[in-house]
Amino acid sequence: MDDARTEKDRRLDSVRTDSAQPLTTETGVRVGDTDNSLRAGARGPTLLEDFHAREKITHFDHERIPERVVHARGAGAYGRFQPYEGLSDLTAAHFLSGPDVTTPVFVRFSTVAGSRGSADTVRDVRGFAVKFYTEQGNYDLVGNNMPVFFIQDGIKFPDFVHAVKPEPHNEIPQAQSAHDTLWDFVGLQPETTHMMMWLMSDRAIPRSYRTMQGFGVHTFRFVSAEGRGTFVKFHWKPLLGTHSLVWDEAQRIQGKDPDFNRRDLWEAIERGQYPEWELGVQLVAEEDEHAFDFDLLDATKIIPEEEVPVRPIGKMVLDRNPDNFFAETEQVAFHTANVVPGIDFTNDPLLQARNFSYLDTQLLRLGGSNFQQIPVNRPVAPVSNNQRDGFAQHRVHRGQTSYYPNSLGGGCPAPADEGVYRHYAEKVEGGKIRVRSESFADHYSQATLFYNSLADWEREHLVAGFRFELGKCEELAVRQRVVANLNHVDHELSARVAEGIGVEPPETEGTPNHGRSSPAVSMANTAFGSLTGRQIAVLVADGVDAAAVHAFRDGLVSEGAVVELLAATDGAVRAGAGDPVTVDRAYTTVSSVLYDAVVVPGGPSSAESLEQDGVAVHFVLEAYKHHKAVAAVGEGTRLLASLPVPEGTFAPAGGTRTELGVVVSETAGDDCVAEFARLVGGHRIWDRPTAAVPA
């Protein structure tokens, strides 16, 4: 992809505004004093005729708009999408017609349950909404980072959201699913089971938006120019691999840096480390609609990738941060019904409800029917119709006519012949009935499939997730009901969860485990090895072995990592030999949970100072507890002394060696740095036992 600006970016130039001199009112009248209101006498009452004060305060009073009813907390970025190959045999969508078409995009990532100011790293689903500004109009692919959903029919959405949001009587807890009402709903609504497995897994605590998969969730339909349909599921795969946090770490980050994911996305783009995802599709021929043991229209089911492989069709790169959070990220309006020729819906009852809901919600949230004219929402494709007026109409429509047909306006705008949106001519018939199809009835098989597919460590985290969440439910009957449901997923799973939350494990097996798995859903099978954007802390004090510091920094930065030197105070530390070493931050202002790995270089006095500083020792202990790679060089190993491992485990013994994900070495040679980089690229050392670590 070239570096040229996208068409969307160029179009935004007309609305970009920079602060300029002098200060004026909204009507352009110059203001000489904005600190003192107009009053009758220096100590007298303020006068109503102070139009500047009134305008300033009134505007301020109206600064807030309703936050999104779900997905209120989010972060966005611009970028571009380019197909690898032409898909014209499958879809009339021009933006998928070939690698010579690059389409501008805006993407918004979000959490679901929390309000706009809530923390990023809560246990939750993440929204992954992409707006493609195509030449045929805007196409929105409004997905999540999990491939299934809680409910099968949109009519249940208000119930589900009411259950997961803070409880209505006291508005507690904020951005948490660990409370009675959610689990009450879940226990009574078994169709939630598969999604709850994903939500209790580490998928719900992504390390970064950059390391998060995205899914369209529903089965959609590609439609070719000839009108031929093909079922399609959309997948976004991050090129850096799919990686998550540790739950304890995620909770601590909520306090240390509530903007953790937002900041990570922003900074990566500012550094020029543009996040990338590959778009993939699973395709199912119309005639194979009923070839599966689940219903393609049921959003609580995946199509296992082993049954229908994901075909990579293009790449998305996010390369530009917005200029203004409110104007762009807050006002962006996604809508599942924003489709372009070649992409159509299916009768998934969840999708059908969404097609109603998103337009409706924007009307309220963005104050009326002209929200598509807000700069971030404007298509790059031309707009021409007879819709008129409404609050905040920004277009100045010219001419006498605003109806069709007309002769006075030259018949314009007239319906087009070419490139028009044509709905897939699906044959539909049926009585009006309020029933759920029998083909939606199995709520457990795929929950079992997910469970069977996890690596051991993922399964441990899943059990711990259930125990944590249900452990926060006061009502024992609620806990018991969920355990009873889990007994239909896997008997051992339900027993292990039950043991952790003080309820009776089920005596007999519910539904027997079918033993099938889908390895593609396990994060153990993702891409590993990249250091791009990984945050590495190097702990230093006076007397530090500067050669080791430089060796690690140079080696890791050259692979794309961000290396920060942390000391007890800002400024610089004296080196054992050579120039002082500049410190990036005081470690009291950060925390190990904000880093992916930690290095403790040697230098006798540096190691001694760090060893006597509880903050530094805790830093290393905590990183170790959270399964992060640690490197200790020479005397730096002293900081490992309080780890609950047999004495001598981390004693340097000549050369470089790795013990439980800790690289120990006498000197910071190339092999030592390379070994550490390998561990960092592996994300976490999951087989390191950490239960006894007191951090």
Query: Rounded to whole angstroms, how far apart are CA atoms 394 and 371?
Result: 10
CB 79 within 8 A of CB 320: yes
Sole window of 46-54, 91-99, 140-148, 408-416 interacting with ligand HDE (rule: CB under 6 A): 140-148
Sole window of 95-103, 114-122, 141-149, 588-596 interacting with ligand HDE (rule: CB under 6 A): 141-149
Where does residue 353 rank: exposed (0-12), middle (13-18), buried (19+ CB within 10 A)? middle
Residue of minimal Cβ distance to ligand HDE:
127
Among residues 8, 52, 71, 237, the one that binds ligand HDE under rule CB under 6 A = 71
683 catalytic? Reply is no
Q: Tally the C-alpha atoms within 13 A of residue 264's C-alpha that lie toward its C-beta.
A: 26
Secondary structure (DSSP) of 12-76: HGGG-----SS-B-TT--B-S-SSS--BSSTTSPBPTT-HHHHHHHHHHHT---PPPSSS-SEEE
Site for ligand HDE contains 69 (CB under 6 A): yes
Site for ligand HDE contains 354 (CB under 6 A): yes
Among residues 149, 619, 650, 676, the one that binds ligand HDE under rule CB under 6 A = 149
Tokens of 410: 């030259």
Nearest 10 degrees: Cα torsion 433, 434, 438, 444:
170
Tell me which residues in 214-253 interact with ligand HDE (CB under 6 A). 217
461 catalytic? Reply is no
Tell me which residues in 79-138 interact with ligand HDE (CB under 6 A). 108, 110, 127, 129
Shortest distance, position 578 Cβ to ligand HDE, whole Å? 50
Among residues 132, 157, 440, 676, the one that binds ligand HDE under rule CB under 6 A = 157
- Among the listed residues 52, 138, 144, 452, the single catalytic one is 144
Query: Rounded to whole angstroms, how far apart are CA atoms 395 and 318?
Result: 30
Tell me the per-residue interface mask from 597 to 626 with ligand HDE, x by CB under 6 A, - otherwise.
------------------------------
Shortest distance, position 113 Cβ to ligand HDE, whole Å? 12
Tell me which residues in 287-306 interact with ligand HDE (CB under 6 A). 299
Shortest distance, position 445 Cβ to ligand HDE, whole Å? 20
Name the nearest CA neighbour of 547 among 402, 637, 660, 670: 670
The one-letter amino acid at 231: F
Site for ligand HDE contains 141 (CB under 6 A): no
Name the nearest CA neighbour of 591 among 214, 257, 138, 357: 257
Shortest distance, position 279 Cβ to ligand HDE, whole Å? 15
Nearer residue to ligand HDE within complex by CB, 142 or 205: 142
Site for ligand HDE contains 339 (CB under 6 A): no
Name the nearest CA neighbour of 215 among 195, 190, 197: 195
Shortest distance, position 195 Cβ to ligand HDE, whole Å? 10
Binding residues with ligand HDE: total (CB under 6 A): 26
CB 377 within 8 A of CB 129: no
Nearer residue to ligand HDE within complex by CB, 209 or 552: 209
Give me the count of residues in the chain.
695
Shortest distance, position 143 Cβ to ligand HDE, whole Å? 5
CB 619 within 8 A of CB 625: no
Site for ligand HDE contains 73 (CB under 6 A): no
Q: What's the start-to-end Cα distance of the chain, in Å?
A: 46
Name the nearest CA neighbour of 488 among 451, 456, 521, 453: 451
Residues forming the active site: 71, 144
Contact residues: ligand HDE, CB under 6 A: 68-71, 74, 108, 110, 127, 129, 142-144, 149, 154, 157, 217, 299, 332, 334, 350, 353-354, 357-358, 361-362
